[in-house]
Structure 1
Amino acid sequence: MRVLVCHPEFWFGGAESVVFDAIQAFNGRNYSVYLVTGHCDSYWLDKLKNSVTEMLYGSVTMCGDWFHGMHFLAFRAWLKWGRIFDIVMLDGCPGAAPLLKLLFGKKIFYYCHFPYQLMLPNRRLIEKQLLDCFEKLVHNVNRCFPWISNRICSVHYPAIPIVTTQCSDAAKLEYCKTLPTNYFLSLNRYWPEKRVDIAIEAFMNAEGMLKKKISNDVWKSIYLIIAGSVEERIDASVNCRDELMKLTKLKNIEDKVIFLQNVSSEEKVQLLSRCTGVVYTPPMEHFGITPLEGTTGCGTNETVENGKTGILVDFGAENFSDAMAKIPCLDLKQF
């Protein structure tokens, strides 16, 4: 079985981890995996080269931005490899589906991670036509794209495999020394749509609530860690990080908020395993990887089970504050 994987850009993020895990799963079944991507960070380069049969990567700019770079990559893949593939896996760029279907003539497995469909409702007519090209869809697309509910499409949710959650004891001990005793964790890309500012606002608001329930010494031990990927070549990512840092200074809580950038998979595992709670703020995500990673320690949960593996609240800083104020009283029993 030959699989062509088409991913827009490989930099730090949940989507990249899921695609990499999918490639590893393909390898476990002895499939031949070919990869095309418009950008590949050094972090992923060696891992991918050791995991795929061949790959095409490089910066792609389309003049006027009328077409996604994946269109150019599709042509490159077709010219280099021809029609040798049994299936095509496409991630994050539905606009390339018709061209991939034309060039390779195979079924398309679409991984739908991004929330753009809900953010840009005016694109629904175009997306409706593009989604007709897919044979398999990954995500809760039945809710977001009801007009395809009469098609015979199966929906698959990504799992959290061993390759993502393993970490050596030596790495664990060393990294744990750098972490606070108690902390809330926000784990997202530094990107405006992730609304990490809500986590900062909520943490500040939670201070007053927590001080009524716990001692001042306990409050001093609680921090907010904001961990995520920053892509220096993308202004939106850099500006988001800078604005979040400015916000902590404006709210006078910069000594209680720790910013971490581009953490490794091993570091992410330790952050998740030791945190008091994960604060997940993206309001319009179709499906987030962070809740899966956060609940994997509680069992095989696809989503947060309210009151058992997490607390579900309506979007807003006050609601997050209320939830955050409940958790330490249950978790900080050593005090």
Structure 2
Amino acid sequence: MRPSVLFVHPDLGIGGAERLVVDAALALKSRGCHVQVWTSHYDPNHCFSETRNSGIPIRCCGDWLPRSLLGRCHALCAYIRMIFLALYIVFLSGEQFDVVFCDQVSACIPFFKLARNSKKVLFYCHFPDQLLTQRLSWIKRMYRAPIDWLEEKTTGMADCILVNSYFTAAVFKKTFTSLAYIEPTVLYPSLNVSNFVSTVFEDVSDLFPVKRQHIFLSINRFERKKNLNLALESMFELRKRLSLLEWERVHLVLAGGYDERVLENVEHYQELKDNAAKYDICNHVTFLRSFSDEQKRNLLHRAICVLYTPSNEHFGIVPIEAMYMHCPVVAVNSGGPLESVENNVTGFLCSPNPKEFADAMEKFVKNPDLKNRMGESGHLRVKNKFSTEAFSDEIYAHICKLTN
């Protein structure tokens, strides 16, 4: 009998972590596993399309619990919501399952482990949560201390720990010092190519003037840590290097995940628009919020390259999506892109400053054939290194190992 796997995830919206969860669920379902997903929040109008039509049941519980307390304590609220979700599943849902697949918030793990019928738990670590927030005051440090301790202790209770890159594996070992005996296994996220396989592409010229031939594309959530302003600064720097005719052919599309419930999304979106006005490049920038999978595919097909601006990104699925679509990537030379993007072959790895990004962007403007050459290399790299088949084989093997 194939294993039954229950996925628990904080918020099944749109993002890299959510993409991983959906792909893992689909991979296990394709292997004959019984799969279900439980989450604290799910909006059918703000999700990956596969969650609506894959046949995998999505259960939502605990969304009435607050996401923050007067705009603060997001981590504490996330922990409470996940603990409530775990308690509901274990004691009230009546669901039967063999393995729990959880990610992002490890606080729920002990409730699955200590239940009457203890379950095997696989934890996928995208990145230690305690490193995702700054500690600028002693109050914040005191508030985070017990949460950080709980994260480390509960993470160590998992029966299997996977990470998304060797970069994250190294950070895991350095951060969770009491778990030095654990060697997390690297499982690269894969690309669900079904969303990208097509020979028909819709026209996206309504997003920018027709005369714009060189389209640069940025895909990331509207969050400050994603350093999206680097793309705007790089456009400002690029303008200085191009003739007026060349500049009139250049355009940037800033496409990003946007949730009106998240104050930072709302604020940072406006900050970026204000910065575009300050740099006097508004006519050469399009802001696109919460775009569809179809729009993403069409934009990747149309773009001359993708600008990937976060530093120390844990892995980053966007460069994989871009390369599969024959679109080169200009990324910051740290974190996951060091393992996904091959410098000078599938794109360029640069320091996070506008001059280096503009150097790379200028090469694509001056030599349009560069997109085709690097794009083909990127496509082959994804097929060889980040295939769905390899991901499915490995995740299924880990599940089977836990149930044997």
Where do 5+ consecutive residues of structure 2 fail to align?
135-140, 328-336, 372-404
Matched, 1:131 2:144: no
TM-score, length of structure 1 as denominator length: 0.87
Matched, 1:199 2:231: yes
2:112 aligned to which of 93, 96, 100: 100
Residue matched to 1:10 = 12
Residue matched to 1:330 = 367
Residue matched to 2:100 = 88
Equivalent position SS for 2:38: strand
Q: 1:230 to 1:316 in 2, by over 3 A?
A: same
Matched, 1:142 2:179: no
Q: 1:31 to 1:250 in 2, by over 3 A?
A: same
- One-letter amino acid matched to 2:189: P
Q: In the TM superposition, what is the alpha-carbon distance from 1:74 to its structure 2 partner? A: 1.1
- One-letter amino acid matched to 2:266: V
Q: In the TM superposition, what is the alpha-carbon distance from 1:126 to its structure 2 partner? A: 4.4
Q: 1:128 to 1:6 in 2, by over 3 A?
A: same
Equivalent position SS for 1:76: helix
Matched, 1:310 2:334: no
Write the distance in 2 (CA, Å) between the matches of 1:81 and 1:8.
17
Q: In the TM superposition, what is the alpha-carbon distance from 1:12 to its structure 2 partner? A: 2.5
Q: In the TM superposition, what is the alpha-carbon distance from 1:188 to its structure 2 partner? A: 0.2
Q: 1:46 to 1:272 in 2, by over 3 A?
A: closer
Write the distance in 1 (CA, Å) between the matches of 2:345 and 2:49.
39
- For residues 190-244 of structure 1, give each alpha carbon's deviation from its aligned partner in whole angstroms, at most 9, with x where no partner exists: 11111101110111111112x1xxx432321110110011101111111111111
Residue matched to 1:111 = 124
Write the distance in 1 (CA, Å) between the matches of 2:229 and 2:128.
18
Write the distance in 2 (CA, Å) between the matches of 1:30 and 1:90.
20
TM-score, length of structure 2 as denominator length: 0.73
Write the distance in 1 (CA, Å) between the matches of 2:169 and 2:196.
29
Q: In the TM superposition, what is the alpha-carbon distance from 1:101 to its structure 2 partner? A: 2.7
Kept in 2, the 8 Å contact 1:87–1:109? The answer is yes
Task: Answer with 66-75 or 142-151: which moved more.
Answer: 142-151
Equivalent position SS for 2:259: coil
2:194 aligned to which of 153, 158, 163: 163
- One-letter amino acid matched to 1:34: Q
Task: Answer with 240-249 or 136-145: which moved more.
Answer: 136-145
Q: In the TM superposition, what is the alpha-carbon distance from 1:332 to its structure 2 partner? A: 6.2
Equivalent position SS for 2:308: coil
Q: In the TM superposition, what is the alpha-carbon distance from 1:163 to its structure 2 partner? A: 2.3
Write the distance in 2 (CA, Å) between the matches of 1:115 and 1:259.
31
Q: 1:329 to 1:89 in 2, by over 3 A?
A: same
Equivalent position SS for 1:145: helix
Equivalent position SS for 2:6: strand
Q: 1:167 to 1:112 in 2, by over 3 A?
A: farther
- One-letter amino acid matched to 2:270: D
Kept in 2, the 8 Å contact 1:27–1:51? The answer is no
Matched, 1:282 2:284: no
Residue matched to 2:84 = 72
Q: In the TM superposition, what is the alpha-carbon distance from 1:168 to its structure 2 partner? A: 6.5
Q: In the TM superposition, what is the alpha-carbon distance from 1:78 to its structure 2 partner? A: 1.7
Q: In the TM superposition, what is the alpha-carbon distance from 1:321 to its structure 2 partner? A: 2.1
Where do 5+ consecutive residues of structure 1 fail to align?
none
Q: 1:177 to 1:325 in 2, by over 3 A?
A: same
- One-letter amino acid matched to 1:118: L
Equivalent position SS for 1:41: coil
Matched, 1:238 2:275: no
Kept in 1, the 8 Å contact 2:89–2:95? The answer is no
Residue matched to 1:54 = 57
Kept in 1, the 8 Å contact 2:128–2:172? The answer is no
Task: Answer with 269-278 or 160-169: which moved more.
Answer: 160-169
- For residues 17-54 of structure 1, give each alpha carbon's deviation from its aligned partner in whole angstroms, at most 9, with x where no partner exists: 23222222122112111111121122338742543553
- For residues 231-271 of structure 1, give each alpha carbon's deviation from its aligned partner in whole angstroms, at most 9, with x where no partner exists: 01111111111111111111111101001111111211121
Write the distance in 1 (CA, Å) between the matches of 2:229 and 2:25.
34
Q: 1:77 to 1:304 in 2, by over 3 A?
A: same
Q: In the TM superposition, what is the alpha-carbon distance from 1:110 to its structure 2 partner? A: 2.3
1:25 aligned to which of 27, 31, 51: 27
Residue matched to 1:173 = 202
- For residues 117-152 of structure 1, give each alpha carbon's deviation from its aligned partner in whole angstroms, at most 9, with x where no partner exists: 434487665443232122131313321122446435
Matches within 5 A, 1:249-260: 249-260=277-288
Kept in 1, the 8 Å contact 2:218–2:254? The answer is yes
Question: What is the root-mean-square deviation of aligned Cα atoms in Å?
Answer: 2.8
Q: In the TM superposition, what is the alpha-carbon distance from 1:95 to its structure 2 partner? A: 2.6
Equivalent position SS for 2:114: helix
Task: Answer with 92-101 or 121-130: which moved more.
Answer: 121-130
